Amino acid sequence: MVKEIGIGLGLAVLIFLGIQGINIFPFLFFVGMSYILLNLMEARSGGMSDKFGNIKAKKSYTSIPKVTFNDIGGQETAKKELMEALDFIKDAEKIKRLGIRPLKGILLTGPPGTGKTLMAKAAANLTGSVFISASGSEFIEMYAGVGAKRVRQLFSRAREIARRTNVNNAIIFIDEIEVLGGKRGSHSGHMEYDQTLNQLLVEMDGLSIDDEVRILVIGATNRIDILDPAILRPGRFDRVVKVDLPDKEGRLHILKIHTANKPLADDVNLEQIARETFGFSGAHLESLTNEAAILAWRENQTRISQKHFLEAIDKVMMGEKLNRKPQKEELRRIAVHETGHALVSELVRPGSVSNITITSRGQALGYVRHNPQDDFYLYTQDYLEDQIAVCIAGAAAEELILGNRSTGAQNDFQKAADLAKKIIFSGMTSLGVVTEKDLPVNLKHEEMSRILKEQEERVKKYLIENKDIILTITEKLLKEESFTGDKLRKMLKEVA
């Protein structure tokens, strides 16, 4: 209303000045520019605040999600811990009688794709809470005070929607909370970050069990190390729930969930797929099942076979097949290189090779995919030295068969160097217990060189003894481009 009155008065003044014979074009220009700037400011502050207002209200974010904890696989420990924390919301009257202070915030931490957002939605479903989500990046703007205003509006909106739907509980989920919850003072010359975080802390401090609408804040981050200590202290984010990468049993559970609506062939072995996907997150596994279905569709198949899943593993890990075809000489070098990796891998751990190929994918001209039998979280010195040997084997095979090395071994050498450092700083060498900060650079270099040299000599000796086998497998690989680890092991038995 005030805006309309101002526009009317402005037009009246301009008409009066025009009647008096005064040139009104400079005034029109000034008024027009002022109007444009005013609208830009409103779009940045008030107008954009609809992210937590009308726009959200039209979406399902403000209703109780349909996701349940049964829809989330591979996170049994995290689910158990989170569900225990949610009991404080479900039995609010009971904990009030016992004098227990309710939880105000729960922080979910872990790598991307592990299901943090799904767990927040499942928490809202379990407690019958309205659910509002936001991303940390949505709070930060170049204008001071905008982020703090959005935080206030977010909490206000949660209470409003809960009242309107006759619900007593609300969950506010903030993804990428490290963006607005980073350590204060780390953003030089930009106080907007600090003001936004301060407002979030104030809002959380004001939460109480006696509120008409009880609000729980759930944050998600994969960078807990950069969060401000104030946000982690008791009374704000009281619980930190680690949502980690799933183990083999967890991956099998996730695969079963994502293949429940897909027609599988009789040869599909989900346990083998779970074993071969060490390090995959829930998002990776969902993508894997989807890619396998796409591959079956491309071949006009009515069911998804094991070969589709195995190829989908390669695609998720390495990327799509490339159309480019290396020159004949280059392709032979790639085959020799990958054969070297595969042979030494079978030497140090029989049955470890899952697939060997010279088909280009992503940034790789060829590769050997290994098959971890079990999930390992601790590594012995022997294991680390064996992995260094596998890394070096590709270049060593090139040098033995072709007379020189190529740049294709650059990443292999980097991995070998990193493994050598791990051996040193795990106290597995004659240097004893040392830290990277205190160890002189020249001593570190000498010890790394010794470790790498020992494994290089070991690999060369083995490859020289098996030169004919390398040539046989290389020729087979050049003809077929790719074969499984089982076929490789069968060939090794035949030529032995």
Provide the annotated active-site residues.
338
The Cβ-side half-sphere exposure at 90, using a 13 Å CA radius, reads: 12
Phi, psi at 453, each rounded to 5°: -65, -40
CA distance 488 to 483: 7
Q: Nearest-CA neighbor of 154 among 162, 165, 166? A: 162
Q: Cβ–Cβ contacts within 10 Å for residue 276, how many?
A: 22
Phi, psi at 315, each rounded to 5°: -65, -45
CA distance 195 to 200: 9
Helices 485-495 and 467-480 meet at what angle, rounded to 10? 140
Any idea which residue has 């350590």 for tokens? 183
